[in-house]
Structure 1
Amino acid sequence: MLTSAVVGLVACALSVAGTDAVATTGSPYKISLASRKIPKGHAAALRRRGMTAFSIPLDDQFDGTDLQWFGNISVGTPPQTIPVVFDTGSETLEFTSTQCGAPCANQIMFDTEKSSTYISYNQTFSIAFATGGGVNPVISADEYVLTMLAGEDTITVGGIATPNVSLYTVINQTEAFASDPYSGIQGMSTQAQGFFAGLVQQGLPAMFGMYLTPKIIGNAELTLGGVDESKIFSDILWSEVPAGSDGTWQLNSSQISVNGYTTPLLASNRTVIFDSGTSNAYFDTNTTEAIYAMISPNIKPYASEPGAYGIACSEIGTLPATLDLTFTTITGEPFNLTIPSSELNVGPFSDDPSTCQTLINAFDGLELVGGSLLKHYYSVWDLSNQRMGFAWNGVPQWL
């Protein structure tokens, strides 16, 4: 999920006429790197301090399409198990509490009175999100809003406790959150914060790996402090997070191509955010409609859900819709990250089952990819070197 506002808080032939599309050249670059090995010196420090990487299993919220991956942390003394989304699109830790009551009844709620280490700051805040956990676009600024109480407590992950972690307990939430099977969000930005900062201070490398899989594959996981070699089936391609990203995981992209073709608009430079807490892809309206124009003229805006687009469900399964986003490695070589055609259909609209929603939502001012891209790669998020890495995760792209 991506925070929007905080109150008090911080290859097929082109068949579309009238476009200026040109065929892209080349293919995704493959480069051999020793990237999966810990650099000299860093390895020595690891041995000296004695902390090794460990993994947390993740479950997949599934409602006809992969939506969201989440796993457990433990909060308080004695520990209470709380399921959270490990969200690269946010920075803070927030989860439901018993003070929320009925609006949070679907989630596991943390009981502050049962934790001897919980401290309340007696400060209440509200936070809004620009993207939600599902596939529907955020229609209004007050759709995804949490009201929270600031405090601190001990967070235990992988059997390692970090005391005095700043957190926010949800005391009220809007209806859009009600169907979530998880209780909250743990921000995993480019700057280590909260429990992750505590682990880093105790000697864990400031890196994590994400194996986000389709529901049919399962066994998704988050690896803290490194990567899971058994989930990586190619070299890791590294790209630098641009300076001034202010905690946001983002990369500069030189081109978007659709089914092997691009246009002057799509071949322009842009900065793309990588958000593990968001399912769909988001681009500005002009970019979104330029992409859809290269897929089918029958993909149209969906009036009742601003920002969403759709097409007859009877037609969507026949459409080629492979999106390649071009980035650059740290050695200056271009490479592509692909969202395959299998991701185009995110299911029928609830108010019109004959019309299926398509992958990309229009959101002016936002260029973002989420789970629909990330589940086709093993992603590495390196805080120490401010870079991201991608490798094939062994999952066929048609899943």
Structure 2
Amino acid sequence: MRCSACRSLFVASLVAQTLGAASPTTIQLQSRVAPREATLRRRATNPVTLPLQDFFLGTDLQWFGNISVGTPPQNVSVVFDTGSSTLEFASTMCGSSCDSQVKFDYEASSTFVDKDKTTTITFSTGVGVDPVVGDNYQLTLREASDVVTVGGIKAKATTLYLVTKETAKFAIDPFSGIQGMSAQAQGFFAALVKQGLPSIFSLYITPEAVGGAELTIGGIDETKFNGSLTYAPNADQGSSTWSLTSPQIFVNGKTTSTLKKKRDVIFDSGTSNVLFDTTTTEAIYALISPEIKAHASEDGTYGIACSLIPTLPAVIDIGFTDENGKPFNLTIPSSELSVGPFADSPSTCQTLINAFDGLELVGGSLLKQYYSVWDVGAQRIGFAATGK
């Protein structure tokens, strides 16, 4: 998910209210950066692997898993979101707006500390594939700290944010919150790095039919992919944003002058679909089918008759350059073109790219095609084919 608060909190954004004093302290990792050839060396603490569940809704585009918070520990289900920086989840401070989620009972934790600071954050991308309109994805949060346990490893006095109010768009969520996994280690991840974990994590996110999705913190599960990893440098090093520079985009092997424009593409595991500016979005769709049209009732979305989806080749290759200067593509296959029918027009299927001027971003529809390694210490992202 993309939050409009600030780059050091959830994510960089376009519709912002800053957290100001509520922002957590960033722990700089320079002293812990290993040489590239030694990035995966085991340290004092072994890697932690967490199983992930697929939030389906017909899309296979959102994954979440469990951490524990408090003393005694309470399970909290969260999306591990590379487009966010902090930990926030539903709590008993929240009224009826959080009734769809399991609420953390802060009064039952002997290690809970209320910091008595409240803030509101607004997201520029939401859960699922619906577009953001105004403040329809918004959380009111209260800053606190408590013990966070991941895979049996405890991070004491971890800064977190309890949801005290949420907008109706969050009601469909089967998970309670979001754990940010940004390009600067913060919160529980920073604490685990301090305890000896390498400053990397890996994602294996799979369609529901395949299963076995997982997050590995502090290591790589080499059984989950084929061949070797291709690494590319983070385009915005020193910030919390994971992004790679793309020189061009191909659709079904073709490109245009618009698609040859150099752009920085954000990689966001908490966002389901793809966002490009309007000009780029329509240039991509023009190479797929002239029948793909803007859907008037949902600003920024596009659709086409569902009956036409199986007939359309829609292979999108986004070009990048690896850390050795060699070009490579990351591919979204034709099977991702439809993200399901519109509620107000069941015979029209929404297509995977939403127009959002000023933001270029790929989410689950691309990431589920690859095993990905997010190397905070070396500021790079690695990809390998999974053979799913």
- In the superposition, the TM-score normalised over structure 2's length comes to 0.92
Q: CA deviation at 1:102?
A: 1.2
Q: Indicate which of 6, 10, 17 corresponds to 1:7.
A: 17
Q: Indicate which of 79, 95, 104 corresponds to 1:110.
A: 104
Letter paired with 2:113: I
| Counterpart residue number, 1:345 | 338
> Where in structure 2 are the equivalents of 1:302-317 lying within 5 Å?
302-317=295-310
| Counterpart residue number, 2:95 | 101
C-alpha distance in 1 between matches for 2:267 and 2:93:
33
| Counterpart residue number, 1:359 | 352
Q: Contact conserved, 1:74 with 1:81, CA < 8 A, in 2?
A: yes
C-alpha distance in 2 between matches for 1:7 and 1:153:
25
C-alpha distance in 2 between matches for 1:149 and 1:350:
34
| Counterpart residue number, 1:17 | none
> Which protein shows a greater Rg?
1
> Equivalent residue of 2:240, what SS?
coil
Letter paired with 1:3: C
Q: Indicate which of 283, 304, 314 corresponds to 1:321.
A: 314
| Counterpart residue number, 2:252 | 259
Q: Indicate which of 171, 182, 192 corresponds to 2:175.
A: 182
CA deviation string 1:101-153 (max 9, x = no partner): 2111111100110000011111110001100110111122x100000111100
| Counterpart residue number, 1:64 | 58
C-alpha distance in 2 between matches for 1:105 and 1:42:
42
Letter paired with 1:133: V
Letter paired with 2:4: S
Letter paired with 2:253: G
> Equivalent residue of 2:311, what SS?
coil
Q: CA deviation at 1:244?
A: 4.5
- Structure 2 segments unaligned to the other structure (5+ residues): 6-15, 21-34
> Where in structure 2 are the equivalents of 1:1-399 lying within 5 Å?
1-5=1-5, 6-10=16-20, 39-40=37-38, 43=41, 46=42, 49-140=43-134, 142-244=135-237, 246-395=239-388
Q: For residues 345 and 389 of structure 1, do their structure 2 counterparts lie closer, same or farther at Cα, with a shift above 3 Å needed? A: same
CA deviation string 1:249-297 (max 9, x = no partner): 0000011000000001101100000000001000000000000011111
C-alpha distance in 1 between matches for 2:351 and 2:40:
44
Q: CA deviation at 1:38?
A: 7.7
CA deviation string 1:14-59 (max 9, x = no partner): xxxxxxxxxxxxxxxxxxxxxxx9834973xx4xx52121200000
Q: CA deviation at 1:159?
A: 0.2
| Counterpart residue number, 1:16 | none
Percent same amino acid at aligned positions?
60
Q: Contact conserved, 1:252 with 1:272, CA < 8 A, in 2?
A: yes
Q: CA deviation at 1:226?
A: 1.1
CA deviation string 1:307-359 (max 9, x = no partner): 00001111122111000000001111000000000000111000110111000
CA deviation string 1:151-172 (max 9, x = no partner): 1000000101001111100010
- Structure 1 segments unaligned to the other structure (5+ residues): 11-36
Letter paired with 2:17: V
How many corresponding residue pairs?
364
- In the superposition, the TM-score normalised over structure 1's length comes to 0.89
Letter paired with 1:310: G
> Equivalent residue of 1:178, what SS?
helix
Q: Contact conserved, 1:4 with 1:130, CA < 8 A, in 2?
A: yes
Letter paired with 1:228: D
Q: Contact conserved, 1:67 with 1:133, CA < 8 A, in 2?
A: no
Q: Contact conserved, 2:248 with 2:319, CA < 8 A, in 1?
A: yes
C-alpha distance in 2 between matches for 1:374 and 1:113:
38
